[in-house]
Amino acid sequence: MRMYSGQELVRELSQAFGPSGCEDGVRAFIRTQIGASCDGMTEDRAGNLIVRIAGRGVDYDPAEERRLMVSTHMDEVGFMVREITDEGYLKFSLIGQTDPRVLCGRHVVVGEENRTVKGVIATKAIHMQTAEKRTKATPVNKMYIDIGAKSAGDAEKLVQVGDYATFDSDLVPFGKDGRYIKGKALGGRLACAALIEVIRYLHASSCELAYDVYFAFTCNREIGISGASVAAFTVNPTLAILTGATAVNDLPGVSPEARVAALGEGCVLSLADRQTLYDAGLTRFAARCAEEGGIRYQIKQGDSDTSDGAPLQRSMAGVRTVSLSVPVRYTHSAACVASYEDYQALLNLCKAVICGLKP
């Protein structure tokens, strides 16, 4: 397997097939990209991939069993085939939260990791709808996936009820000097790419680590069943770094105080979300690491969403948790937009925080 890095690694992860409940291909790809660059790799019963980098240096005491968990999720939003019509169309339901208004006309891949077919989400053409229906968003139960089949029997040769589907969307650089990237599944996969590169760096470097570091690539985040809480019971961490994406609305007509964060302004440090108050001391430490290392960062405004922070923070006897993320526009769509510079900021800040933590 070829070893990827940088934007190529982000591209491969973005385009991987991995809706919630079907993360096998993503997990296998991450395994190959880490290879021997770790001190251990296991998979728990929930399907989380946990990678260990052993502590070392003058501040490391194995008898203390100090453990740092660094977490992100592997899964993406998607669809599940619920019915195959007599005409060979696929009726489906959503996996995770996706705005139905962005679905019609989108290309998808249907099946499972080792058996897929191309399709397109569609509904009745607008000129064939009543005037009343033209003014309303088409509900998901009125949409279907067209895979080019002529009958139910024809379709059943290619797909089965219960099969998954994801957006079929290339990762495309755009903007001045390709500073932005567009693709699917960037919410979790940007952080997956960053953690793979952090693992490689820690394995090859001589930086001292006061903690055994456990990287958890988790499942089922998009459907609200947090693999992070299961991973926390497996690892039993002392501290945790939660990584991922912050959904932003730095858009025309949105007032500055409602924008949460902005693309191109660096890694996002979250103070809180709807269910979590992140550890103030760890957040200040992360900000100091960024300032000392010349790494761009921004403080998230407001508490507009939820994350794996709550189940992670409240697991076991409680885990002090800090959140580092990448700002992403249009999350849960086929065309998420992020800044590659922000990805680099997340990557560099993760390195700085992990290497800088002391007991």
pLDDT digits (tens, 9 = 90+) for 193-249: 999 999 999 999 999 999 999 999 999 888 776 788 899 999 999 999 999 999 888
43-84 pLDDT, tens per residue?
A: 999 999 999 999 999 999 999 999 999 999 999 999 999 999
Q: Say yes or no to pLDDT of 134 above 60.
A: no
Q: Report the pLDDT averaged over residues 113-132.
A: 74
318-338 pLDDT, tens per residue?
A: 889 999 999 999 999 999 999
Predicted pLDDT at 30:
98
Query: For residue 84, what is the DSSP state?
Result: E
What is the DSSP annotation of 100-133?
GGGTTT-EEEEEETTEEEEEEEE-S-GGGS-HHH
What is 78-167's CATH superfamily? Answer: Peptidase M42, domain 2 (2.40.30.40)
Nearest to 32 by CA among 169, 199, 220: 199
How buried is 175 (Cβ within 10 angstroms: 0-12 exposed, 13-18 middle, 19+ buried)?
middle
Return the amino acid letter for 314: R
Return the amino acid letter for 182: K
Helix axes 340-356, 186-204, angle to 10 degrees: 40
Predicted pLDDT at 221:
85
3-class SS of residue 165 = strand
Residues whose CB falls within 8 Å of the CB of residue 302, separated by 6 or more in sequence, listed in order: 258, 260
pLDDT level of residue 170 (50, 70, 90 thresholds): very high
The domain ranges of the chain are 6-76+184-356, 78-167
Query: Fold identical between 6-76+184-356 and 78-167?
Result: no
CATH topology of domain 6-76+184-356: Aminopeptidase (3.40.630)
